[in-house]
Structure 1
Amino acid sequence: MADAYAWSRKSLEELVAFYEREIGDAMVSEGMDPTADRPTYEWLADRGYSGIAYALREQHGLTLSEFLTDCVGVDPPESDGYDWRIGDAETVDRLEQYLDSRSRRHNLADATIRSRRSRLARYAREYERLHGDARLVERAGSIENQPAEIDRAIAVFDELSRELESADSKFAHLTDANDWYLWLQNRMLAAFNPMVNVRNEFSKGWRAERADESGTKPALSAAQVRRLHRAAESDAERFMVVALGAWGLRRSEVASLHASAMDPDPDPPRLTFAERKNGPGTVQVLFGTEAYADRVAALEDGEGGDREWNGYLFPSGASASGHIAPGTVNNRFDRLAERAGVTLDGERPTPHACRRFWYNAYLRASRAALEQASVVGAEQGSSSAEVVLENYIDDEQALAMRREHMRATLAEAFDADDDGG
Structure 2
Amino acid sequence: MQQYFWRHIATDAGADGIDVESEKPTYSWLSEHGYRPFVAALRRHHDVTFGEFWSEHIAPGADADAYDWSTSDKRTVDALEHFLDRRASRYNLSESSVDTLRYRLNTYLRAFQHANDHARLLDAVARDAETPAYEAADEVFAAIDHLNEATDKRDTTIKRVADIVEAFYSHLVSRQVAATNPAAGLDDEFKWDTTTDGDTPALTTEHVQALTDAANSPDEQLLVVALAAWGLRANEVASLHASQLDRETDDVPRIEFDDRKNGPGSVSILYGLDVLDDRLAALSDRSAWNGYLFPSKQESAEHVSRQTVWRRFHDLTDRAGLPERIDGERPSPQLCRRFWYDRYSETLQDIITGLEDIAAEQGSSDPQVVLKNYLSDDRARKLRRESMREKLADAFGTSRAKSDSRCT
TM-score by length of 1: 0.49
Q: 2:234 aligns with which of 233, 251, 262?
A: 251
What residue in structure 1 maps to residue 292 of structure 2?
312
Q: Assess if the C-alpha contact under 8 Å between 2:359 and 2:370 holds in 1.
A: yes
Distance 1:279 1:353, change over 3 A: farther
Alignment pair present for 1:407 and 2:389 = yes
What residue in structure 2 maps to residue 242 of structure 1?
225
What residue in structure 1 maps to residue 135 of structure 2?
none
CA displacement at 1:379 relative to structure 2: 2.7
Separation in structure 2 between the aligned mates of residue 399 and residue 212 of structure 1, nearest angstrom? 37
Separation in structure 1 between the aligned mates of residue 288 and residue 278 of structure 2, nearest angstrom? 18
What residue in structure 2 maps to residue 221 of structure 1?
204
Distance 1:158 1:325, change over 3 A: farther
Separation in structure 1 between the aligned mates of residue 312 and residue 99 of structure 2, nearest angstrom? 25
Q: Assess if the C-alpha contact under 8 Å between 1:342 and 1:348 holds in 2.
A: no
Separation in structure 2 between the aligned mates of residue 156 and residue 198 of structure 1, nearest angstrom? 15
What residue in structure 2 maps to residue 285 of structure 1?
269
CA displacement at 1:380 relative to structure 2: 2.5
Separation in structure 2 between the aligned mates of residue 333 and residue 356 of structure 1, nearest angstrom? 15
Counterpart amino acid of residue 270 in structure 1? R
Equivalent position SS for 2:255: strand
CA displacement at 1:376 relative to structure 2: 2.0
Percent identity at matched positions? Answer: 44
Corresponding pairs, count: 230
Measured against aligned partners, the alpha-carbon deviations of 1:297-327 in whole angstroms (never above 9, x if no partner) come to 000122xxxx500000000131534000000
Q: 1:357 aligns with which of 333, 336, 339?
A: 339
CA displacement at 1:337 relative to structure 2: 0.4
Separation in structure 1 between the aligned mates of residue 394 and residue 322 of structure 2, nearest angstrom? 17
Higher helix share: 1
What residue in structure 1 maps to residue 246 of structure 2?
263
Alignment pair present for 1:332 and 2:312 = yes
Counterpart amino acid of residue 334 in structure 1? H
Q: Assess if the C-alpha contact under 8 Å between 1:273 and 1:282 holds in 2.
A: yes
Considering only CA atoms, is the larger Rg found in Structure 1 or Structure 2? 1
Measured against aligned partners, the alpha-carbon deviations of 1:2-36 in whole angstroms (never above 9, x if no partner) come to xxxxxxxxxxxxxxxxxxxxxxxxxxxxxxxxxxx
Counterpart amino acid of residue 88 in structure 2? F
CA displacement at 1:374 relative to structure 2: 2.1
Measured against aligned partners, the alpha-carbon deviations of 1:131-158 in whole angstroms (never above 9, x if no partner) come to xxxxxxxxxxxxxxxxxxxx9xxx7678
CA displacement at 1:377 relative to structure 2: 1.4
Q: CA RMSD in A?
A: 3.6
What residue in structure 2 maps to residue 202 of structure 1?
88
Equivalent position SS for 1:241: helix
Q: Assess if the C-alpha contact under 8 Å between 2:84 and 2:98 holds in 1.
A: no
Distance 1:368 1:319, change over 3 A: farther
Alignment pair present for 1:322 and 2:290 = no
Q: 1:371 aligns with which of 338, 353, 357?
A: 353
Stretch of structure 1 that moved more, 245-254 or 407-416: 407-416
TM-score by length of 2: 0.50
What residue in structure 2 maps to residue 103 of structure 1?
none
Distance 1:157 1:276, change over 3 A: farther
Alignment pair present for 1:390 and 2:372 = yes
Equivalent position SS for 1:377: helix
Separation in structure 1 between the aligned mates of residue 359 and residue 61 of structure 2, nearest angstrom? 55
Greater RCO (Cα-Cα under 8 Å, separation 6 or more):
2
Equivalent position SS for 1:281: strand
Separation in structure 1 between the aligned mates of residue 60 and residue 334 of structure 2, nearest angstrom? 23
What residue in structure 1 maps to residue 285 of structure 2?
301
Equivalent position SS for 1:323: coil
Q: Which runs of 5+ in 1 are unaligned?
A: 1-128, 131-150, 160-195
Q: Which runs of 5+ in 2 are unaligned?
A: 1-21, 24-54, 64-81, 102-159, 161-197, 400-408
Distance 1:381 1:217, change over 3 A: closer
